[in-house]
Chains A and B, each alone.
Chain A
Amino acid sequence: MDANTIERLLAAQGIELAPGRAERLAPGVNALNVKDPVGDALPFEADPTTYVVIRERLK
């Protein structure tokens, strides 16, 4: 995601950015887009509520 995209995305949500701030945010935002081998192999039925079921099973 480049700085212009970030600026537009935040503006659409009503978030005001200081000049140059989007450039500063971009590296951190992009660093979160990591390849996840476990996530990629999830069964189609997995959803966020699965976590609590697994937590209960593993205690």
Chain B
Amino acid sequence: MSDPAELSLAEARVQLNRGALSPAELEQSCRARIERWQPRINAFVSTSRRNGAAADGPLEGVPLAHKDMFYRAGQVSNCGSKIRKGWVAGETAAVLEHLDAAGALDIGALNMSEFAYGPTGHNDHWGDCCNPWNPAYITGGSSSGSGAAVAARLVFGALGSDTGGSIRLPASACGVTGLKTTWGRVSRHGAMPLSHSLDTIGPLARSAEDCALLLSVIAGHDERDPVTAREPVALNIEQPIRAVAISTGWIEKNAHPEVAKAVLAAAKALKVKLVEVEPPEFDLLSAHCLTVMQAEASAQHANWMRERPRDYSSAVRVRLEAGFAITAAQYLERLRARGAWLERFVSQTLAQADAYLVPTIAVPLPTREQTGPKGGAEMPKLLAEVTRLTRWVNYLGVPSLSVPCGFDSHGLPMGLQLVGRPFSEGILLAAGHAYQRETEWHRRVPALA
């Protein structure tokens, strides 16, 4: 074995169970890579071990690290911000309790966009997180460190949060697999809030199989998060897929040719029946998502915005200011229509299919400079293009799996999404697993220049 850190989580578990590898060897292998990669990609904000000895469980001895917004009692969660720099949490996030009980190691805290409110991975306070495939390019955000650390094989998996694309954007941009869960599938207790109607938590890992292992540990009802459902967590990644819906004409017309080619080739590689459907109203639903997100995020931050607005970066402050211009009636109108839109998606788009396939990011990945403070007049348009196909999913509250499906002419990863019915994570993971049995994109590892 060349480097144990390059195994998948599932493969590492097998090696650990056989005694071919020890947890200490595995952690050492990850730490050696962190030492080499951190100066290049800035994926970690802390590399101190955050939990105790590994418990006996399904993830015993597996090194993970998580976005710096999942609280751990007595330890710092900076939330990517200046305002919460050095803030010590009083309680532990439900998801970390589950992972601790399963035996996972928590080997550090990962970089993220300030307060999870940015789609690129820029961070004025903690430094930008950089794409492991080329540090001039964005990682996607807001779970920037989670995407970058998993891609560079610094950890075997990481938790992220997804309010408008924050798991799927870094998964796609960094070439890893990321699962945005159904709203209510995973407890958000002890996680930093952004927008309570949209916030979800999910894994980023090297494969759909690895995401399934992590989801099986973190999912389930929690009385401390009253929106969590009592739906049992049934994850059979070997289950057959009936059909996948796709809007080929829309992809050919709207996605960049390189992205369209990769995504349409991937649809064929799935080897399932493809059903052509009209595309969902991406732009309208994305606007509804933004209305809800901005109103809720601004309410969440209202006190700090009144008392210390200069402690936010300019980009986040502008987003928070915008939320105060949304009226209560406008916000509630969008929430009032949410169920009807969900019904329409399931009854029309998914009428004859288990999942809907669409690019995660429809355009070539931009650079950090293009989308940063010096981005100029084109920057808002560029950001809108990057996020165009993720927010509609959050408005509907449904699950979506992003899997790598190729590389563009600049050598940057591209990804596709499989979007499903509420609580259909098992089907999406099965489809992703079937695709990854046929392809090698998820196995590619960036090289350290």
Contacts and interface: CB of A to CB of B under 8 A. Distances in A.
Interface of A: 1, 6, 9-10, 13-17, 21, 24-25, 28-29, 31-34, 36, 38-39, 41-42, 46-48, 50-56, 58-59
Given A50-B336, A55-B184, A56-B229, A25 B325 contact: yes
Contacts of B294: 32
B231 interface: yes
A13 B324 contact: yes
B238 interface: no
B74 interface: no
B222 interface: no
Contacts, number: 105
Given A14-B306, A55-B397, A59-B422, A38 B335 contact: no
Interface string B369-387: 0000000000010000000
26 contacts: A15-B321, A25-B318, A32-B330, A34-B284, A34-B287, A36-B284, A38-B337, A38-B344, A39-B333, A41-B340, A42-B337, A46-B339, A46-B340, A48-B336, A50-B338, A50-B339, A51-B335, A51-B338, A51-B342, A52-B339, A54-B339, A54-B340, A54-B343, A55-B342, A58-B346, A59-B423
Contacts of B290: 32
A3 to B, nearest CB: 10
Contacts of B321: 10, 15, 17, 21, 25
B445 to A, nearest CB: 37
A14 B288 CA distance: 25
Contact of A48 (B183, B305, B318, B335): B335
A46 B318 contact: no
Interface string B10-39: 000000000000000000000000000000
Contacts of A21: 318, 321
Contacts of B287: 31-32, 34
Interface of B: 182-184, 227, 229, 231, 283-284, 287-288, 290-291, 294, 302, 305-306, 309, 318, 321-322, 324-326, 330, 332-344, 346, 380, 397, 421-424
A10 B325 contact: yes
B422 to A, nearest CB: 5
B338 A15 contact: no
B381 to A, nearest CB: 11
A39 B333 CA distance: 8
A14 B324 CA distance: 10
Contacts of A58: 342-343, 346, 421-422
Contacts of B291: 32
B426 to A, nearest CB: 11
A33 to B, nearest CB: 7
B340 A9 contact: no
A29 to B, nearest CB: 5
A31 B287 CA distance: 8
Given A50-B336, A53-B339, A58-B343, A29 B421 contact: no
B342 A1 contact: no
A47 B288 contact: no
Contact of B340 (A28, A29, A33, A42): A42
B373 to A, nearest CB: 14
A32 B299 CA distance: 18
Nearest to A29: B325
Given A39-B337, A50-B336, 12 more contacts: A6-B325, A10-B321, A13-B302, A15-B321, A32-B330, A34-B283, A38-B344, A46-B337, A50-B339, A52-B339, A53-B339, A58-B343
Contacts of A25: 318, 321-322, 325
Contacts of A29: 322, 325-326
Residue of B231, B288, B321 with most chain A CB atoms under a 10 A cut-off? B321
A47 B329 CA distance: 12
Interface centre among B335, B337, B339 (most CB of A within 10 A): B339
Which are the 3 A-B pairs with shortest beta-carbon distances? A39-B337, A48-B335, A54-B339
Contacts of B335: 48, 51
Nearest to A57: B343
Interface-centre pick from B184, B227, B306, B322 (highest chain A CB count, 10 A): B322
B61 to A, nearest CB: 35
A6 B325 CA distance: 6
Contact of A9 (B182, B324, B337, B424): B324
B309 A16 contact: yes
